[in-house]
Amino acid sequence: MPVPARAGTEADDAARARALRKMRTFATGLLAFAALVFLLVHLFTDLTGVWGFVARASEAAMIGAIADWFAVTALFRHPLGLPIPHTAIIPRKKDTLGRSLSEFVAANFLQSATVSQKILSAQVTRRAGEWLAEEGNQTRVVRRAGQGLEYVLARVSDEDIEALTRDVIVPRLVATRKAPALGMLLREVVDDGAHHRLVDLVVGEAHSWLESNPQVIDEIVKQRSPDWAPRFLSDVVSSRLRREVLSWIAEVRDDRYHRARQALDSWLVQIADDLRTPTSLADRAENVLDELLTQPGVVDAVLEVWASLKRLLRAAVIDETGEVQARVRRLLAEAAQRMTTDEEFAAGLDARIATTAGDLVESFGGEIASVISDTIAGWDAKEASDRIELYVGRDLQYIRINGTVIGALVGTLIHALTLLLP
């Protein structure tokens, strides 16, 4: 299985490869230099005096360099291609190393206290407010939000909405009893008095209409009065009836606690209770609602609403000088000001963010850290080893260099001790 896409760019990887080759060449050069010195000293000197120190130093330097070369190479591959036990550790143990690294990260980093404290010390709210206070960033946020909305709208077709409405929403609504929910909604409306404005509007319009059209009552009285009744009597009755009706409607309009209003409230409460219980009214309401939902025009109406909503949303997204985007910018500016000036608000928001992040990490830390082990498990062993060596191999070459230098110093010290001892 191929290794996943590289985290860095090709230029970064090329630079790392050059640095690795340079350090590897330098470390190998030190080993070659120590071997050359060792060979020359043994060929052309008697190994006495200072030459003894040089010989022992070069010998120990070679030993240290070769030992550290073996140790570094054994991490990534078999030295000299020989299948020596406990070599090529990373290719052979990459899955185990991935699990260990995942457990280490989860146990030491993805902890509630650690993450919460880091978020609190970072002052996320204040820094976010400072960033958001700049007009350019506000414009960027609004534009990105608009692009995201346009992306969603472009990928939700009318056919999808039609299929969703016809095949999912309407059948689900038909299969569900709607009368209890309707009764509960009606009861909430009555309890909150939300219908009073509608009653005020209807009563007020009725009073104005009757006041502007007195002939309506006159016509009713004329049609209902007997033929033998004199004309003046019909006029008196219609005039009196018109005054009484207008007076009664005015009382209902002006008195919020009129008996007619109370009777209407009681009637609506009774309807709401009947809808919430298995009654004939609830059954009739259910049948009416089902018939309405199964009408072909329901899907067309939903599509028309969706088309209108898309046009409105697109207009708001496209018009950067429009009222919608201007209002969003003002809201962002107000939020940014409060985030940067209201220390109590910022501290409270930071605390909530820290608590939420800590809870998430505490609950899902293991799953989050498992990304490491799962990713490493999916890598090809050799390519994974090469990639890891590319990133850390340059620093590991210092082990070879240090081994060469320290070996030379230790060889010199040991030779000095052998001369001093009896």
Task: Look at residue 144 in the predicted model and tell me its pLDDT.
Answer: 87
Looking at residue 5, its pLDDT comes to 43
**Residue 155 has what pLDDT?**
84
- With vertex at residue 99, the alpha carbon angle to CA 94 and CA 102, rounded to the nearest 5 degrees, is 120
- The amino acid sitting at 302 is V
Roughly what angle, to the nearest 10 degrees, separates helices 179-192 and 259-276? 150
Q: What is the structure's pLDDT at 63?
A: 94
10-residue mean pLDDT profile of the chain (422 residues): values are 51 87 93 95 89 93 93 87 84 83 82 85 90 89 84 84 85 85 87 85 86 76 64 70 84 87 89 87 86 83 86 76 81 90 90 89 82 81 82 89 93 91 74
Give the pLDDT score at 232: 64
SS (H, E, C) 366-416: HHHHHHHHHHHHCCCHHHHHHHHHHHHHHHHHHHHHHHHHHHHHHHHHHHH
Q: How far is CA 352 from CA 113, 114, 117, 129, in A?
A: 14, 15, 12, 16
Q: Say what the pLDDT of residue 226 is.
A: 63
Q: What pLDDT is attached to residue 221?
A: 66
